């Protein structure tokens, strides 16, 4: 009994850290002031862009925001879905316009241009004010990208009942800025193919919660769906079918679509591991190609890795990466580097012959390969991105600006930081969305997924990006991302396996804390995440339910000790 009373008091105190009734915003803004007055959107509500020569993608973003206002029609998540709000709305003023402007002296650039600037140089902050008396609301920012972020916040404030679109929180004052520059979602489109419409829908959802980086793991050992002009045979021989490919025009369309929504695309071509499929076109470049038993030579089937010790393979890979990288506007490009299996090379005659002839060790050869491939990327103006093994398992000479993705365990971030590299947090023990689905390998009926258990949104939400780091190392953390590896996923289950769980890291890396400075906590966050999830449904997604709807309509009623 005492335990329940203590928990109830704690829940009450946590709930008081945010303005009462603010259950609609995700990620929660940096600073937030709200009232308790009803305010309706006027039937003739419009957006006023007070920017001479406003870029086309800003105009399109405003049209998109207006469309959502007109079509979301989300009932407030309370019993009755807003029936008891009608009294407050009878005397409510009507908001007729939102005025968008840039701060004095700000450069007028497109959202797309702003979205692909180097990390740390993008301006995503904004200020939003909504008076209670019906006078014009204002949205100001230092860039069109900041205006776009503010538009997504504005759109989350409104509910619908009885023909009225309204809020009960006026007046509203928000100033907002991201805590971290990198907020990502990683998707593997090699193990199973995702059509264009699924990627575009995912990009839309990312933009709604201010995720700004789509980490596109586009190739792997199972398939090579990316068409590359200089090496057309890779996709011809490596894609699952001619229909399951991404042409150059497909990629550019996806890039343009993402950039216009404030999203940078970090493309990854994983090397030198995870490359068996290249053997379908260049068998002489791949060691242990389809060798059996596969488990001796790879973490999952099929076996096969680039013979990185061979100069011709290093030259081929550098050329391939540069050919793709120069078509991408992002300043970043990932070469992977994870799960390299050394047993694959032990009895590989071409590799051993090259090592013996040159006197190099396998580490020496990998260092030369990496310097060649990364050198080609740097020559194209790209910052190399690698998985953590390239720093922790091998002794390599990497460019100082290299970004390291921590994935094996959250505990590994400290070791990467100790080496002075900037890092992105993608720890499998918190952020892998595919975990907990059971074993996918055949002939293993009692097996489980390697990263069990299922990573709930609430477990992911407890992640501390700065844990085990010194204060001097904090600036090395660029942000983080959740990831979906697609051994058991495809277009059929993309929405429910990603959403709304991927929104949890979006708030960790945008907000970092509550507006009053208190730590993020799941008790306060759950009602807001319900709101995000229900709005996603209104916009055509199929996110998984978080709880029975009875619970969603009664915040905190289904907490463990309620």
CA-closest candidate to residue 218, choices 253, 183, 251: 251
Give, as one character, the DSSP assignment of residue 133: S
CB 515 within 8 A of CB 528: no
CB 418 within 8 A of CB 458: no
CB 297 within 8 A of CB 340: no
Q: Is 339 a catalytic residue?
A: yes
Helix-strand-coil percent breakdown of the chain, rounded to 5? 35, 20, 45
**Widest pairwise Cα distance in the chain:** 87
CA distances from 560 to 7, 13, 255 (A): 9, 16, 43
Catalytic residue among 339, 380, 439, 487: 339
Q: How many other CB atoms are there within 10 angstroms of residue 352's CB atom?
A: 14
CA-closest candidate to residue 431, choices 492, 479, 493, 494: 479
CA-closest candidate to residue 50, choices 165, 136, 135, 117: 136
**In a 10 Å sphere around its CB, with 0-12 CB exposed, 13-18 middle and 19+ buried, how is residue 183 labelled?**
buried
CB 31 within 8 A of CB 513: no
Residues labelled as active-site residues: 339
């Amino acid at each position: 009994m005492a335990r329940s009373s203590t928990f109830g008091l704690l829940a009450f105190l946590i709930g008081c850290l945010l303005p009462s009734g603010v259950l609609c915003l995700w990620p929660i803004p940096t600073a937030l002031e709200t009232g308790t007055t009803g305010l309706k959107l006027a039937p003739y509500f419009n957006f006023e862009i007070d920017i001479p020569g406003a870029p086309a993608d800003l105009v399109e973003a405003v049209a998109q925001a207006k469309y959502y206002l007109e079509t979301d029609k989300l009932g407030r998540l309370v019993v009755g879905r807003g029936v008891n709000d009608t009294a407050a709305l009878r005397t409510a003023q009507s908001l007729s316009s939102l005025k968008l402007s840039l701060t004095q002296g700000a450069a007028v650039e497109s959202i797309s241009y702003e979205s692909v600037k180097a990390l740390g140089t993008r301006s995503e902050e904004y200020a939003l004010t909504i008076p209670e008396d019906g006078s014009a609301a204002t949205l100001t920012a230092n860039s069109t990208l900041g205006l776009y972020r503010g538009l997504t916040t504005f759109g989350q404030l409104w509910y619908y009942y009885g023909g009225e679109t309204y809020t009960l929180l006026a007046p509203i004052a928000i100033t907002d800025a991201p805590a971290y520059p990198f907020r990502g979602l990683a998707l593997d489109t090699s193990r199973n193919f995702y059509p264009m419409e699924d990627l575009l829908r995912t990009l839309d959802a990312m933009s709604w919660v201010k995720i700004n980086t789509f980490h596109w793991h586009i190739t792997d050992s199972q398939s090579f769906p990316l068409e590359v002009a200089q090496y057309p045979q890779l996709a011809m021989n490596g894609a699952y079918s001619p229909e399951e490919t991404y042409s150059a025009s497909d990629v550019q369309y996806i890039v343009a679509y993402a950039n216009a929504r404030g999203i940078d695309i970090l493309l990854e071509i994983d090397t030198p591991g995870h490359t068996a499929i290249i053997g379908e076109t260049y068998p002489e470049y791949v060691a242990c190609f389809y060798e059996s038993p596969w488990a001796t030579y790879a973490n999952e089937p099929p076996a096969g890795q680039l013979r990185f010790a061979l100069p011709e393979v290093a030259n081929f890979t550098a050329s391939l990466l540069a050919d793709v990288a120069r078509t991408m506007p992002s300043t970043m490009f990932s070469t992977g580097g994870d799960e390299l299996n050394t047993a694959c090379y032990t009895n590989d005659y071409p590799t051993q012959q090259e090592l013996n002839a040159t006197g190099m060790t396998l580490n020496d050869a990998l260092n030369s390969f990496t310097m060649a491939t990364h050198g080609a990327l740097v020559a194209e103006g790209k910052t190399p991105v690698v998985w953590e093994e390239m720093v922790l398992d091998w002794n390599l000479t990497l460019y100082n600006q290299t970004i390291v993705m921590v994935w094996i365990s959250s505990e590994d971030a400290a070791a990467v930081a100790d080496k002075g590299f900037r890092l992105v947090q993608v720890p499998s023990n918190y952020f892998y969305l595919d975990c907990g689905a059971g074993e996918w390998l055949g002939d293993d009926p009692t097996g489980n997924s390697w990263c069990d258990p299922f990573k709930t949104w609430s477990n992911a939400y407890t992640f501390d990006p700065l844990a085990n780091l010194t204060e001097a190392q904090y600036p090395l953390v660029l942000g983080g991302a959740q990831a979906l590896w697609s051994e058991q996923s495809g277009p059929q289950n993309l929405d429910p396996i990603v959403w709304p769980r991927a929104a949890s890291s979006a708030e960790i890396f945008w907000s970092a804390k509550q507006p009053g400075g208190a730590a993020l906590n799941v008790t306060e966050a759950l009602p807001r995440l319900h709101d995000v999830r229900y709005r996603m449904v209104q916009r055509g997604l199929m996110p998984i339910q978080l709880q029975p709807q009875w619970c969603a309509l009664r915040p905190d009623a289904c907490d463990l000790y309620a």
